Structure formats: structure tokens, C-alpha cells
Amino acid sequence: MTTTPDASASASMRAMLLVAHGGPECLSWGELPLPEPGPGEVRVRVRAVAMNHMDLWVRRGGPAFKVPLPHVLGCDIAGTVSAVGAGVSGVEVGARCVVNPGVSCGACEKCLAGDDPLCRRYRILGEHRAGGYAEHVVLPAVNVLPYPGDLPFEQAAAVPLVFLTAWRMLIRRARVEPGEWVLVQAAASGVGSAAIQVAKLAGARVIATASSAEKLARARELGADETLDSSSDDLVAATKRITGGRGADVVFEHVGGDVFTRSVLATRSGGRLVTCGATSGATPTIDLRHVFFRQIQVLGSTMGSKADLFAILPLVAAGKLRPVVGRVLSLEDAAEAHRLLESRTVFGKVVMTVP
């Protein structure tokens, strides 16, 4: 095994630990043994880790989030390779990298078809195994990807999950076409800000929703053609007015609850609604007649394939897709970072540096 001098000098590392399920106060600064990469694995010295709603869900706990405690959260990671395990080639110690947060078996039918999010053994860093709220993380070597140009670590960490998710939803699942109208719900979120850019890259016209004039202005800066204030505008009526009475060709939905209900009504006949989340409620009330009479496709989506990041990262390096970072804090301030994400006041990603 090859290691960097600073990594091998210590047998422990600092980490922000989830010690119990509950509020942000359940995060506690501590130490863990320095993890060693096994065959086919690498260790990454984490320099920045971006937050996602998944961090909040795992922290709060519940039937779907049973993890041994203490647990290390964080799936969006940028850093440098600090150790290489046996049998690893093409990855050099000291190289800057970003991390694909999805881990799969690599051998099943779905993995070999490039559809690894459907692998029965699919796992996500920070949710099912130790993540990036620490100085170091060990992961399969195939999850280490080339660094996107000269971006600061804080911006590079804001790329993987949201752009993977938006890319799969819009390009792979909804198959957005040039000239179509795409309604992006909650555009101020990390995945919403990514969706605006991916839709525009595909040649679509974008209607973005957000809850304040400041957020809507930022959405227009990212390329949104039209914006709607989700706190005051009639979403359905306004979408139909903008689209000449038809409704949106594609609705990008990740909020759930009543937003999902109204999203169905805002989708044109024969259109597509693609969803990846339910941050405001998992049991929306919908009239199924709007689905089958108007032949709307409702498409589920989760994460994205390893191959998709190879398409995304060169676009990021070229400046055609831009990670949006709203706030940067230190990992020591993880509890405050969680409160910020929960407050929904930040446009884009909340990122923590790991000194």
C-alpha cells in the first residue's frame, strides 16, 4: 500500500460523528482510527464536503436510516488521494479528485449495463457506509474521478450528487428535447440550481420556482427564462399562461406533498413529471384521472450512474455547468451547517471545509 507521509504519521483522524439520532446537537467532534484501504480501494484526504438533505434524514433517523452509531455522514467529497490499496492502478497518491457517492457491486446485470443506481447492492457514502465528515474516507478506487479543472475544493465538492441527480432525471429519464418547457421546482436548492443548467444545456426553456425575489433573481442568472414565486403565484395557472395554455412538457419535482399535487396539474397532456425526493411530504394527494386521461408519465429517479459523471465533469471543467455554493463553513461548525440547510435560506449548496 502506498500512502502520503502526513497520512501515515498518525493512526487516528478527526471526524464529526453522528452519536445519536435527532437534532443538529447529535453531531459531536471526535476521533476515529485512520481507515486503511483494502484491495481495490483508495483512501482520500477530504478537503471539502458538501451537504445534502440526505444528511438531515440520516441524522434524524427512522426506519429507513438504521446505521451503527457513531456514524460519519457526507457523500459529496473533494480532496486528494492519500493511500492506494493493493491491485489499484491508474490512481496516484497526491492526485486531486472528486468522489462518486454511489457504491455498487460492479458485476451484476444493472452495473454492467451502466445503470448502477438499480444495483441491488447500491449504497451511498454517508448513508449506508462512512462518508466525508472526516479527515479521511476509504472507498472503491472506481469511485475516484478526475478533478474538474482548477475549481476550489469547495466548488468541486458541490458537483457530484446534484448534477448526477439532475442529469439522470432530465437527460436519462425525462429525455428533455430542445425547445421544450421544463418547470423546475424549488430552484434555489442544490439540485434545483443544477437542473436549471442541465435543462438549458439540453436546449430547453426553463420556468423556475422559488420563495423569494432574491432567489428568483439568482435563478434567472443561472439561465431560467421565466420565474414564479412559490409563495404567492398560482403555479398551475402561471405555468399554463407561460406555455400558451398547454402546461410544462417536463416537470422537475423533488419536494413532494402539495407541490407534487400541483406539479401533476401543471404538466401538459402527454408530458413527463420526474421526481427524486419528498422533502415536504411523501404522501401527496392526487387525482389519478389527471394522470391517465391526460396520459402523463410519472418517472421516478435516484442518483445517477458512474458513467454520467464522466460526461458531467468535463462540462464543469469547461464552465458549461457551474456548481452553486451558497455558504462555506468549517466541518467543526457542522451543527450550524445543518441548521442552515434546514432553514432553506441558502441559494445553492452548503459546503464544509476539512482543514
Model confidence pLDDT, tens digit, residues 262-271? 999 999 999 9
Specify the pLDDT at position 143: 96
Owning domain of residue 51: 2-159+323-353
Q: Are 138 and 35 in contact (CB under 8 A)?
A: yes
What CA–CA distance (Å, rounded) separates 262 from 255? Answer: 11
* Interval 277-329: pLDDT, tens: 888 888 999 999 999 999 999 999 999 999 999 999 999 999 999 999 999 99
Both 136 and 208 in one domain: the answer is no
What CA–CA distance (Å, rounded) separates 167 from 84? Answer: 30
Looking only at the bridges linking them, the beta strands covering 205-210 and 181-184 are parallel
Question: In whole angstroms, how large is the CA radius of gyration of the chain?
Answer: 20
Specify the pLDDT at position 10: 57
Contacts of 288 (CB under 8 A, 6+ apart): none
Examine the pLDDT at 9 and tell me if it is beyond 80: no
* Interval 72-101: pLDDT, tens: 999 999 999 999 999 999 999 999 999 999
Domain total of the chain: 2
Both 190 and 89 in one domain: the answer is no
Both 150 and 167 in one domain: the answer is no
Specify the pLDDT at position 282: 87
* Interval 176-222: pLDDT, tens: 999 999 999 999 999 999 999 999 999 999 999 999 999 999 999 99
Both 135 and 184 in one domain: the answer is no
Q: Does the residue 52 lie in any domain? A: yes
Q: Does the residue 308 lie in any domain? A: no
Identify the CATH number of the domain in which residue 248 sits. Answer: 3.90.180.10
Specify the pLDDT at position 100: 96
Both 340 and 247 in one domain: the answer is no
Percent of the chain with pLDDT over 70: 98
Specify the pLDDT at position 63: 83
Beta strands per DSSP E along 189-314: 205-210, 226-229, 248-253, 267-275, 297-300
Both 142 and 206 in one domain: the answer is no
Both 137 and 235 in one domain: the answer is no
